[in-house]
Amino acid sequence: MKNSLLYAFTLSVFLTLIGCAPNTSQTTQQESNSLNQKSSPPMLISREVLLGNPSRYQGRISPDGNSMSFRAPVEGVMNLWVGKIGDFSSAKPITQDTGRGIPTHFWSLDSQYVFFTQDKNGDENWHLHRVDVGSGEIQDLTPYQGVQADQMHQSEAHPGTIIVGMNDRDAKWHDMYQVNVATAERTLLEQNDGYAYYKLDNNLKVRLAVKTAEDGSSHVFTKANNEWHLWFKVPFADSQAFNILGFDKQNQGIYMIDTRERNTAALVYLPIGETTPTVIASDDKVDVTNVLLHPRSHVPLAYALNFIKPVWHAIDDAFITPINQLNNQLNGGSQVLAQTLDNSLWTVFTDQSNQSPIYKVFDTTSGELTDLFITQPEVNNLPLSTMHGVVIPSRDNLDLVSYLSLPLMSDPNQDGKPEQTSPLVLLVHGGPWARDEFGFNSLAQWLTNRGYSVLQVNFRASTGFGKTFLNAGNKEWAGAMHNDLIDAKEWAVAQGITTDDQVAIMGGSYGGYATLTGLTFTPEAFACGVDIVGPSNLVTLLDSIPPYWESFRQQFYESVGNPTTEEGLALLKARSPITHVDKIVKPLLIGQGANDPRVKQAESDQIVDAMKSRDIPVTYVLYPDEGHGFNKPENNLSFFAVAEAFLGSCLGGRIEPIGDDFSDSSIEIIHGGEFIPGLDEHMATLGNN
């Protein structure tokens, strides 16, 4: 009976995909019964609007304050544009990529060049390129086979030079090179013989090195007489939050984020050679994040505290008034992304949940906050949902800071209190050493528009809430970390947001693992699951981590489980979804990139094979030109078209017809397509078979 029901489900998903089922862009009888709607639903917003390319993104002001740069489409592919600050008529594309687009960029400190990083089809072998803004010439500064560029440093005192870590000599370790920006000529500064990373002073001298010990602790070394000497140790419990921000102006001490002798991360200062830091800023509730240093004096100016939403706090007395002026003009999320060298202008990303994010310019002299550009102006007149911060208690009394978004059908006035229940998607973040934050979330808007409530939970092991909360997740994959998600689901049911049998689980990376865990460890808890690049086998996951993660291997062992010990290996096997694959009774959709270096294709292959051998239906979608997630817009849209039909058949939400969302995509239906008459022919007509 179990398999026949799953067969019927899988059939209905793909009949919907190819247009053979009666679902349309309007509400269906199944959806109407499921949502118990009292009035007409809002307009159906297309996937392309919510999940496609923004009009502009990743805005930056040049260090001299004269120019702006941003990412924007050129023939549908995100490329880099540069123009005079605020003058979009002067902006021109400086790259012409036709593949996966340009993912990230930054300026040279002399404002003569724009740097960008790019890999090949998701392999994460990032090359560093530069564009001469004057001539338009593009140069690969790391033109070596299999290299990954990392640890980049600049100094205003050394124009035309950038320090880059490269691992072409040994894939595990990044040697430090001085690179001539004009010619790409490199000079070795430091050969890396086993250090996780280096810190350079303001004169671009390699001064500090950090190494991970066998117990997962971090050891910090200083260099003297061309030799490395141990300075201090950071225990494993503190190592994940620990971060060296940089040197003071005189290069005599460092600013750090540190949790030693305390729970939450503080901003501290430590003179070279001393062992007792001075606390500059701290909070008892959350970690100090987003510290701003003056670009020239290197003095700490301000920091953010982010419980539900970030709030900025001044450190330097001269910035008390500007920070108050900034806070008074913000009511959502905010990040300071770049500063001019004289610190007069800040590039600020502002983010409310129910409208498009806006890149703004903050004048620290006048206190004025002005718009640079809106990322997705087309969404501002659409029926969007509002995100609400909620704190959910775990069964062992931890506070789970979470975000709830309700569909307009169940919460017409968007006050966060539903008038009726709706199906819910538990959307689990990746990492797991990351966090969900307040702001516009395209996946949440897409799901709420389709009729689902969305709950995003900062479960234990999430960052930002102190080391006790972070370390409570150690060796608790599929244990207490999963219990937090179950507790959040039960909270949503108790609050009348949803019902026990109408909750799906969905996520990418660790969120994909959480999805597989939900369907194997708690097989009746979720109606279905969507796993995107999630590991199914913790043993093979740790065996296949990228070589350049070697320095973090011991921290993985301490956090997840150590496969080199009998006890650790047993734990990893016990906490692997593939070990419990025969318990799956609910529908599962898996999406994977063939070039993923973190969670390799074998992670998805093996659980699909295990399900096939047990005659448990599963839908498996593969992208041969993607890595850890789907970067090409056409691939992204095609996957979420599949996911939308999948969730609609499972939970009864609205479904937009597939339309052209498979066009130009590399999508391959590896398994599950055989259940669908005509699917192969449909795929072939698009040139994707």
Residue numbers annotated as active site = 509, 596, 628
Tally of CB atoms within 10 A around 371: 11
Tokens 């650790």 label which residue? 568
Angle at 483 between CA 477 and CA 484, to 5 degrees: 100
Q: What are phi and psi of 168, to 5 degrees?
A: -75, -25
Q: Using CA atoms, how far apart are residues 194 and 354, in angstroms rounded to an integer?
A: 47
Q: Using CA atoms, how far apart are residues 205 and 192, in angstroms rounded to an integer?
A: 15
Q: Using CA atoms, how far apart are residues 498 and 304, in angstroms rounded to an integer?
A: 34
Beta bridge partners of 132: 113
Q: HSE of 648 in the Cβ direction (CA atoms, 13 Å)?
A: 33
- Tell me which DSSP letter residue 542 carries: H
Q: HSE of 627 in the Cβ direction (CA atoms, 13 Å)?
A: 15
| Joined tokens for residue 536 | 């199914």
DSSP string covering 610-658, please? HHHHTT---EEEEETT-BSB--SHHHHHHHHHHHHHHHHHHH-------
DSSP string covering 236-276, please? HHHHTT-EEEEE-TTSSEEEEEE-TTSSS-EEEEEETT---
Q: How far out from the chain centre does Cα 672 lie?
A: 29
Nearest-10 crossing angle of helices 633-651, 2-17: 130
Nearest-10 crossing angle of helices 633-651, 442-449: 40
List of residues 6+ apart from 490 with CB closer than 8 A: none
For residue 618, give the nearest of 587, 643, 648, 594 by alpha carbon.
587
Exposed (0-12), middle (13-18) or buried (19+): which is 14, by Cβ within 10 Å?
Answer: buried
CA-based torsion, 283, 288, 294, 299: positive or negative: positive
What is the rounded end-to-end Cα distance, in angstroms, of the chain? 32
For residue 478, give the nearest of 560, 591, 418, 374 by alpha carbon.
560
